[in-house]
Amino acid sequence: MAETPVRRRVRASGSVQGVFFRDSTRQRAEAAGVAGWVTNRPDGAVEAAFEGDADAVARLVEWMHDGPRGAYVARTEVNEEEPEGLRGFDVR
């Protein structure tokens, strides 16, 4: 029996743009089989939505607290949302 998917929206603030945060997030999400998207925000933050297996989503959320090498994450905000049935992972 398949586990019910979960969705989390994560916003990482700090020195997070220009350090391959979005592409690193995409690579990790695709490897974990998690759907969603990631985007740079006008205020300098990176925002992502993850949908999928609860454990895989939790690992991605945890990774967002540090991000890729070269990033400095000063703050993260995590919100639980209703899954939308997304497929694939987009860099916006």
Catalytic residue among 9, 11, 40, 59: 40
pLDDT of residue 46: 98
Are 46 and 16 within 8 A, CB to CB? yes
Which residues are registered as beta bridge partners of 13? 75
Element (H, E) at 78: strand 72-81
Among candidate residues 42, 62, 49, the one with its CA nearest the CA of residue 11: 49
Dist CA 38 CA 29 (whole Å): 10
Active site residue 79: no
Residues 8-84, CATH architecture: 2-Layer Sandwich (3.30)
Residue 92: how many other CB atoms lie within 10 Å: 9
What does pTM read for this prediction? 0.94
pLDDT of residue 1: 45
Catalytic residue among 7, 8, 22, 26: 22
Over residues 3-37, the pLDDT tens digits come to 789 999 999 999 999 999 999 999 999 999 999 99
Dist CA 52 CA 30 (whole Å): 11
